[in-house]
Structure 1
Amino acid sequence: MKTLVQVLASSQSLFFNIARISILIVMVWIGGLKAFQYEADGIVPFVANSPLMSFFYGKETPEYKEYKNPEGKTIQKNIDWHQQNRTYTFAYGLGVVIVIIGVLTFLGIWFPKTGLLGGLLTFVMSLVTLSFLITTPEVYVPNLGGDFPTPQYGFPYLSGAGRLVLKDVIMMATGLICASDCAKRILRASMHEN
């Protein structure tokens, strides 16, 4: 057991790099998916209800509810609405930003100043995403009726979308951990220069 503890204790810098690689994988994958119609459609409730992001869209909330495409299915009138709403244009831009943040964080393995920026941007992006727990009605189970004596809808009952958003707590913490490691390396390098 003592050997395992020693290995874990001496592997901290390796684990920081694994965290950076993890952020890269998530950001490139999720950011890359923003180029596809189903993913762009899927983020509409979050963006449309967000006071920080809704101005990117051309249509008012909650009109989007009438034009939801189920995942894997495309309905032309819905796609036309999303094009007018600037859904796809926004998703492409957001995807590029997400991929860039992931790459910046990953580059912290070799370039601490770049990694510091990436880690801080990961934190900020995650904070914005977590704000959807306050602004987006779809993150909680809706009241669809039923016979169960105690209704299980609304807060704290997270829907699939809500569970997805809540996971950003981990991304937020990991971004700060990566930023902190880069800051420590920057300070160490500046002490060696003086």
Structure 2
Amino acid sequence: MKTRHDATQALQSIGTSTLRSALAMNLLWIGALKFEDYEVENIHPLVSSSPLFAPVLKKLGEKKTARIVGMTEIALASLIAARPLAPRLSVLGGLGAVGMFATTLSFLFTTPGAWQEGHGAPKLSMVGQFLVKDSVFLGASLLVTAESLRAARRR
């Protein structure tokens, strides 16, 4: 007979696997979109106003910058998804995703129009709402990284 502890462990395992799969799927899908012209246009306001990305954009141009971001997202997705076979690689992917989402969250403070002006307390615009969801991805990346690290230590 299963105990509450067993049920809790099973639920946590299912939740972690779901979180890892969803994180990898989102990164893979969004990374692949960076090879589409419309997505190059969509990210322009975000990267052009970022102190970190503006110099890269100036040097490489919009398409190359978008494709590098896309390749990075696809690589991180692959590493995160590799957890069942290679937990140490998954740790690297998770850490990379943590850095990436921390960077994209910084766009909240550098992208013009991320905040609604003249509405009292700070209120997010549509762009700001798009960016703030990366806080959830940041948390998912941290949890997936921790779980992969535990699995790597058990090996």
TM, length-normalised to structure 1: 0.72
Map Cα deviations across residues 80-120 of structure 1 (whole Å, 9 max, x no partner).
xxxxx811121111111111111111111321101101111
User: Which stretches in structure 2 are left out of the alignment for 5+ residues?
Assistant: none
Identity, % of aligned positions: 28
Which of 118, 124, 147 pairs up with 2:99? 124
Q: How does 1:59-74 map to 2 (within 5 A)?
A: none
Q: Distance in 2 between matches of 1:168 and 1:86?
A: 25
Q: Distance in 1 between matches of 2:103 and 2:7?
A: 36
Aligned counterpart for 1:140 among listed residues 99, 108, 115 = 115
- Asked whether 1:96 is paired with 2:71, we answer yes
The offset of 1:4, in angstroms, is 8.4
- Pair 1:188 & 2:135 matched: no
- Kindly provide the CA deviation profile for residues 23-57 of structure 1, in whole angstroms up to 9, marking residues without a partner as x: 11111111111111111111111111111111112
Question: One-letter code of the match for 1:130?
Answer: L
What is the match of residue 142 of structure 2? Answer: 176
User: 2:123 aligns to what SS in structure 1?
Assistant: coil
Superimposed CA distance per residue, residues 126-161 of structure 1 (whole angstroms, 9 cap, x where no aligned partner): 0000000111112122x5xxxxxxx427x6221111
> Unaligned regions of 5+ residues in structure 1, if any?
60-84, 144-150, 190-194
Report what 1:160 is aligned to.
Answer: 126
Name the count of aligned residue pairs. 154
Runs of 4+, deviation exceeding 6 Å: none
Matched, 1:86 2:52: no
Q: Please, what is the CA RMSD of the aligned residues? A: 2.3
Matched, 1:26 2:26: yes
Higher radius of gyration, 1 or 2: 1
1-side partners of 2:105 and 2:10: how far apart? Answer: 33
Change (3 A) 1:43 1:4: farther
Q: Alpha-carbon deviation of 1:188? A: 2.1
Shift of 1:58: 2.5
Q: Considering fraction of residues, name the structure with more helix.
A: 2
Greater Cα offset, 107-116 or 126-135: 107-116
For normalisation by structure 2, the TM-score amounts to 0.89
Aligned position for 2:85: 110
SS at match of 2:52: coil
- Residue 8 of structure 1 deviates from its aligned partner by 4.0
Contact 1:58 1:86 in 2 (8 A): yes
Shift of 1:185: 1.5
